[in-house]
Structures are given as structure tokens and as C-alpha cells.
Homo-oligomer: A and B are copies of this chain.
Amino acid sequence: MTIVAARRYRQGHLVEADVLASADEAGRGEFDWIGLVDPTVEEMAELAARYHLHPLAVEDALMARHPPKAEAYTAQSFVVARTAAQGPGDTVAFGQTAMFVGERFLITVRQGSARTHVDLRTQLEAQPDRLAEGPDFVLHALLDFIVAGYDPLLDRLEETVGQMEDGAVEKFPDQARIRRIFRLRRVLRQLDGTAGRMEEMTRKLAEVEQPAIDARARPYFRDVYDHARRVVSRVRVNLDGLANILEVASLLEQSRQGAITRQLAAWAAILAVPTAIAGIYGMNFEFMPETDWRYGYFVVLGAIALACAGLFVRFRRIGWL
């Protein structure tokens, strides 16, 4: 199930549902939209021959993990985008969509990307006037679709980080939470790298003239660029939030440990009094005058109590207890 679409449009209307069956090329006002999923090297070679694709671009399209890029090859543009979807737990599942854009064709190559383009295609076919603009407008629709796919992901991450921030000002993060922060950072850094490249790629499409892409399409790519930039910005705000949590958690733990050390020291001092005094009166000397006094025991008990109380009051005052 490699080739999932091979359609020809004329003035935005579908005229041929299996264009690869015959050898005739798209004419004026026509363009082909070929959709592939995880193609083999041989299938790509066939398409490359038919549409004169550049071997370097074909090589990139066949790589499973190529960072986003936009490159011009003589009369064609080549674009790699990365898709992002919610993975298990806090992870993100990345996929890849490579797009070859010619004057009269658009080839999309998906790898490990879960979202099909069926709905999008149906939607575009319902608007012949937009489809009539040609492959560059379809490229825009695809990129718009892919970048918009980052939003639900970020909504969820943002909620998670927001809850953690709320939690951080109330209670120290336990070890499980620290580990989750660690994993979230890993994910957000992956997103930062990938979205940063998406931003770079869309900016190139918005600002640098590209073959087979009309100047009229520029504001549309600028809008996608704007969206990608927003994604990067949100990712970084969340990374900042996690860094903030970690730094404050560290300080809170430090301060908490300091308080306990002081408390511990104070109690140790207070309890050292009966231990030391009782130890002394526990010695087995023949002649220890106090032990023979009638109320010696009570005097010593009282002295111990007084000393302990005195220390207690003092530690209270200096804030150790």
C-alpha cells in the first residue's frame, strides 16, 4: 500500500484518479498529486525518472529521520516537514512528510507519520478554485495541516507543566515528579529542535524565492511560519517553566533541610543535658555528697528541667524550633 493517491487535476477539478497508469504528462492548467507512504527505493526511482526528481532530494525523502528543510533544485522545490503526534505517556511520536513540488506536480512521501492526507484532500477537492492555484497552494495546505498538528500536543504539555508549576509553589516535588520533569524536558527539547527547524524551513519558503512557488503564495507561507514560530515560542516557555520549577525546588529543599538541621541540633542540645547530668550522678563513686542528700534527686531533676526549658526558650527565640 505504498501509493495511496495518484490524481490529476485540471482547473482544480479531478480529471484522472490513477495518473500513473498511463504515460501522458500533465498539460497546461493541470497538475498531478501523487501520495506515497513508506515507498521502496525502486518505487521512488520510477517516480524520479517520470518527474525528473533530483537524486539528492530522493535520497533525503527516503531517510526516515531527516530534519525539516526547503531546498531548490533547478525547476523544482523540495520540502521536508516533520509531523508530531501524541505518543504513549508524555512522549511525542514524530513522523516525516517529504514533498516534491514542480510546476505541474506535487509528490508527498510520508514516513512513520500517522495522520493521512485523505481528509485534507477531500476538503481541497471541495474547493476547486483553491486547488486551481496549483501545487504550491497544496504545499501550503499540507504545511498548514502539519504545523497545526503540533497544537494539541502543546496544549497537553502546557497543561502538564502548568499543573507542575502550580504544584511547585505549594509542595516540594517528590522523586517521581522530578523524574517526570526530566522526561518532559527531553520531549520539549526534541520539540524545540524540530519545531525550530520547521520555523526555519517555513521562513525560507516565505522569504526566499523558490522554483515552482508563486510569489502570490508568500503571505500564506508567512502565516505558516508565524504559526511555527508560535510553536517554538510555546515550547520554550514550557522549558523555562520546568527550569524555574527545578531551580526553586532545589532552593526550597535546601531551605527545608536547613530548617531540619537546626531543629535537630536544638533537640540534640536539649537532650544532651539530662544525659550528661544523669551520667554524672550515675557514677559509682563511694563519696558523692549530693547522692546522699534527702532531696538531691529532686533538686537534680529540677535543675535538668530548668536547663532544658531554658535551652528550649532560647532556641525558640533564634528560630531554630
Binding site for B on A (CB under 8 A): 54, 56, 59-60, 66-67, 69, 71, 73, 165, 168-169, 172-175, 178-179, 181-183, 185-186, 189-190, 193, 219-220, 222-223, 226, 229-230, 233, 237, 240-241, 244, 246-258, 260-265, 267-269, 271-272, 274-276, 278-288, 290-297, 300-301, 304
CA A304 to CA B283, docked complex, whole Å: 13
Point out the residues of chain B lying under 8 angstroms from A247, CB to CB. 246
Point out the residues of chain B lying under 8 angstroms from A222, CB to CB. 71
A296 pairs with B300, CB closer than 8 A: no
CA A278 to CA B276, docked complex, whole Å: 8
CA A321 to CA B253, docked complex, whole Å: 17
A285 pairs with B291, CB closer than 8 A: yes
Which 5 pairs show the lowest CB-CB distances between chains A and B?
Answer: A278-B279, A281-B283, A285-B297, A282-B282, A182-B248
CA A113 to CA B296, docked complex, whole Å: 77
Closest chain B residue to A299 by CB distance?
Answer: B285
A219 pairs with B282, CB closer than 8 A: no
Interface SS of A by simple majority: helix
Point out the residues of chain B lying under 8 angstroms from A258, CB to CB. 253, 256-257, 260
* 9 A–B pairs (Cβ distance < 8 Å), ordered by A: A54-B219, A185-B244, A246-B251, A268-B272, A274-B280, A275-B279, A278-B282, A283-B291, A283-B300
Point out the residues of chain B lying under 8 angstroms from A269, CB to CB. 267
- Which residue of the partner chain, among B186, B193, B248, B279, contacts A181 with CB atoms under 8 Å? B248
Point out the residues of chain B lying under 8 angstroms from A288, CB to CB. 284, 297
B291 pairs with A284, CB closer than 8 A: yes
A169 in contact with B182 given A175-B252, A284-B282, A296-B285 (CB within 8 Å): yes
Q: 5 additional contacts, CB 8 Å, given A59-B223, A165-B186, A178-B251?
A: A56-B223, A168-B182, A175-B255, A186-B241, A253-B255
Point out the residues of chain B lying under 8 angstroms from A219, CB to CB. 54, 56, 71, 73
CB distance from A92 to the nearest CB of B (A): 14
Closest chain B residue to A275 by CB distance?
Answer: B279
A248 in contact with B179 given A271-B276, A275-B275, A297-B283 (CB within 8 Å): yes
CB distance from A177 to the nearest CB of B (A): 10
CA A205 to CA B187, docked complex, whole Å: 34
Point out the residues of chain B lying under 8 angstroms from A262, CB to CB. 260
Point out the residues of chain B lying under 8 angstroms from A190, CB to CB. 237
B280 pairs with A280, CB closer than 8 A: no
CB distance from A255 to the nearest CB of B (A): 6
CB distance from A242 to the nearest CB of B (A): 10
Closest chain B residue to A259 by CB distance?
Answer: B175
CA A243 to CA B82, docked complex, whole Å: 26
CA A293 to CA B286, docked complex, whole Å: 7
